[in-house]
Amino acid sequence: MAEAILARLIAEKTYAPEEIIVGEPHGARRDYLQKTYQVKVSPDNQEAANVSEVLLLAVKPQVLDRVLASLAGGANRPLVISILAGVSLQRIQKGFPDHAIIRAMPNTPATVGAGMTAIAANKMVEPDQLAKAKAIFSAVGNVVEVPENLMDAVTGVSGSGPAYVALMIEALADGGVLAGLPRAIAQKLALQTVLGTAQLIKDTEEHPAQIKDKVTSPGGTTIAGVAVLEKMGFRSAIIEAVRAAYRRSQELGKK
């Protein structure tokens, strides 16, 4: 995710490569990032933080305490943005007392500039800093601001949601193969159907149920398929998947 954000920030000219410094402990990875994106790199997180107006935390939650310790005592007070799943503003605040901090949850479509990011800010964040954070995540897609107590729910929907959609596309294509279609054609049909339907709902602003009703003619093929989905608990399965991801995000935040 960190590299996706880095790539899009440069591609969208939100920041020039020379304005970005990446703290990376692994030498091979530093070389790759420097050669690929022409950014500055450093093995020292403190060095990166001390010259930055924005510090983006993009590490595994299990190494967060070690990273926070490496950043302690810096003279600079950058805006801190965390993309760590399940990690609260309060926990980040322990490593950055009196800092403006924003918690963000982007998702994997950010890689192609079609992401969805939710952000929540602490009380220290100024309007210009909030605007800066929105500009950063606008480079990878759309941005919404939510209260922090909804961030775990965001994780369940948009953070984990791409996996659910990918599973549905795979299953839709498998159904086509079962019905006799070649794999490549079934895959193309399934993918474009999901993409087109999402675009239709977005552009028309119609409720998904309205789109469904327009396709399901009386006694037709679609209502026969919908009846099977209802019988098999399709909607309930998606709802429960979101709830499971939401609960797991809560659990991660307590560790």
Say yes or no: 15 and 83 in one domain: yes
Domain that holds residue 85: 2-151
Q: What is the average pLDDT across 173-177?
A: 98
Which DSSP string corresponds to the chain? -HHHHHHHHHHTTSS-GGG-EEE-S-HHHHHHHHHHH--EEES-HHHHHHT-SEEEE-S-GGGHHHHHHHHTT-S--PEEEE--TT--HHHHHHHSTT--EEEEE--GGGGGT-EEEEEEE-TT--HHHHHHHHHHHHTTEEEEE--GGGHHHHIIIIITHHHHHHHHHHHHHHHHHHTT--HHHHHHHHHHHHHHHHHHHHHH---HHHHHHHH--TTSHHHHHHHHHHHTTHHHHHHHHHHHHHHHHHHHHT-
Say yes or no: 95 and 131 in one domain: yes
Euclidean distance between CA atoms 71 and 73, whole angstroms: 7
Say yes or no: 38 and 134 in one domain: yes
Domain boundary pick from 101, 118, 151: 151
Domain boundary pick from 112, 131, 151: 151
Say yes or no: 136 and 220 in one domain: no
- What's the pLDDT score for residue 203? 96
Q: What is the average pLDDT across 172-197?
A: 98
Q: What is the average pLDDT across 188-200?
A: 97
- What's the pLDDT score for residue 131? 96
Contact predicate 87/64, CB 8 Å? yes
Say yes or no: 165 and 242 in one domain: yes
Say yes or no: 116 and 174 in one domain: no
What's the pLDDT band for 60 if we cut at 50, 70, 90? confident
Instruction: Classify residue 156: in a domain, yes or no.
Output: no
Q: What is the mean pLDDT of the chain?
A: 92
What's the pLDDT band for 5 if we cut at 50, 70, 90? very high
Q: Domains in the chain: how many in total?
A: 2
What's the pLDDT band for 36 if we cut at 50, 70, 90? very high
Domain boundary pick from 123, 151, 179: 151
Q: What is the average pLDDT across 40-58?
A: 83
